[in-house]
Structure 1
Amino acid sequence: MNQDLLALLRRIDTPTVCNAIEVVQGRRGFSAFTRGTMVCTEPGTAVVGYAMTAQIAAVAPPTEPADVIRARRMAYYRAMHDAPKPSIAVIEDLDWPHAIGAYWGEINTTVHKGFGMSGALTNGVVRDLGDLPDGFPVIAGSIGPSHGFVHVRSVGEPVRIFGLTVKTGDLIHADRHGALIIPPETIPHLADAIAKLQATERLILDPARAGDFDFAAFEAAWGAFEKART
C-alpha cells in the first residue's frame, strides 16, 4: 500500500471505504465488516493498518504456571513490536459478551503507540479515557473501570470481533462506526473508487444543500444519482 493511499484512507470514514469497496467490486453485498455498536476513544479519527492478532481473557485468573503466562505475554509484546507497519492490534476478549477486564488503558495504549502501532480493535474493554495518548484510537466493545485478571491466551491466531473474523496481516480500516477488512484485490483500485464515489454523492448532496432545493430538484438529482451509483 503506497503512502498516498494510506493518507487518503486515514482521511475518510469506514462507511466510505465500505461503499468504495463495492464500487471496485461492481456490486453490493460486501460483508467483511463488524456488526453492532462499538465505542471509539477518538471519534473523529480513522485507523488503518495490518492486523496483529491476539486473544485475552480476564474474568477468571489464569490456570497455567506464572512463567508460562509471562513468556506468552512477552511473546505478545514482541509480536506487536515487530508487526509490519502500519499495524493495528486486533484483540479478541474470550469473555465476550461478558468482558470485564480493560486490557486497554493508559499503560498498554502508551506502550503500543511507542511500538509504532496505529491503534487497537477489540471486542473487549477500554478504560482511562482521560489519560490515553493522542493518536492511538481504540475501537472497543465497551468501557469499564477494572482490569480483572487480564492475561494473554494466544498470539497470531485468527480472532473474531463483533462478527468479523480477522487474521494476522489483514488490512483493517476502523473508526467509530466499527471496522472492516479491505480485500487485497481492491487496493490498487481503491483511490479511484473513492473519487468516483464522492463525485457520485455530490450529485445529490450539492442540490440538497442549495437554498432553492425542492421536489423537482430532488427528483432530477436523484435520477442522476441512481444512474451513477453502484
Structure 2
Amino acid sequence: MTPSLLTLLRKVDTPTVCNAIEVAQGRRGFDAFTRGSMLCSAPSEPAIVGYARTAKIAAVAPPSEAPEVIRERRMAYYKYMAEGPAPSVAVIEDVDFPNCIGAYWGEINTTVHKGFGMSGALTNGVMRDLGDLPEGFPVVAGSVGPSHGFVHVREIDTPVSVFGLTINPGDLIHADRHGALVVPADVVDQLEAAIQKLLTTERIVLDAATQSGFDFQAFQSAWEKFEKSRV
C-alpha cells in the first residue's frame, strides 16, 4: 500500500471503496464485507485503514483456564498488537456473539492500542466509555454496553468472523460507520485509480442533479454519459 493510497483510503468512506473494488475487478459481485448494522464510536473521524491483527475474546463466563495462563496470553496479545506492521487494525471476534456482554473496548484499552500506533478497532462485540475514547482511534462494534463482564483473550493471530465477514491476519481492512470490508490483495495496485475514476464518474450525475432546471431529460442525458464513462 503506497502512502498516496493510504491517504486516499482514509478520506473516502467504505461504500466508496466497496464500489471502487468492483471498478478495479471490472464486474459486480464483490462480497467481502460485513452484514447488518454496526456502530461507530467516532462517525465523523476518517475511516479505519490497516492490516488486520486478529484475536478472539469471551466475557459471558469466567475463563476455565488457570489465571497464569490467562495472564500470559493477555501479555502475548498486547505484544502481538504492538508489533504488527503499520498501519494496523485490531480485529476482535467475541465468541459470545450474538449474546456479547463484555465491553473490551473502553477508555483504557483504546488508549493503549492507539499508543501502539494502531488505526482503530473492528469487533462484533461491545464498546463503552463513549465520550471518553481517544480521538484518532475509532471503534466499529456490534453494540454498546456498560460492563466488561469476564472478558479474556481466547486466541491470537487466527482467522476471525465479524458480522459475516471472515478476516485473516494481515488482511487489508477498510471500516467506518457503514461496516467493514477486506480489500482483495489482487486489486491493491489498481485501487487508487479505481477510486479516482469512481469519484469522477459519479460527479456526472451529482453535478447535473444540483443544477437549476434539472429534469428527466437532463437526468437521462447525464445518465447516458455516466454509463459510457463506466465502460
Provide the TM-score with structure 2 as the length reference.
0.98
Deviations 1:96-153 (A, max 9, x none): 0010000000000000000110000000000000110000000000000000000000
How far the C-alpha of 1:9 sits from its partner, in A, is: 0.4
Structure 1 unaligned regions, length at least 5: none
RMSD: 0.8
Spell out structure 1 runs of 4+ moving beyond 4 A: none
**Residue 178 (structure 2) aligns with:** 177
Show the counterpart of 1:140.
Answer: 141
Match of 1:93 in 2: 94
Q: Alignment identity in percent?
A: 68
The residue aligned with 1:48 is: 49
User: How far has the Cα of 1:229 moved from its partner?
Assistant: 2.7
Q: How does 1:1-230 map to 2 (within 5 A)?
A: 1-44=1-44, 45-229=46-230
The code of the aligned residue for 2:108 comes to I
**Aligned residues between the structures:** 230
Per-residue Cα deviation, 1:195-217 (whole angstroms, up to 9, x for no partner) = 11111101110000111211110
SS, match of residue 180 in structure 1: strand
Write the deviation string for residues 57-111 of structure 1: whole angstroms up to 9, x where unpaired.
Answer: 0000001000000000000000000011100000000000010000000000000
Structure 2 CA distance, aligned partners of 1:85 and 1:94? 27
CA distance in 1 between partners of 2:114 and 2:155 (Å): 21
- Please state how far the C-alpha of 1:159 moved relative to its aligned partner: 0.2
- SS of residue paired to 2:80: helix
**How far off its partner does 1:220 sit?**
0.8
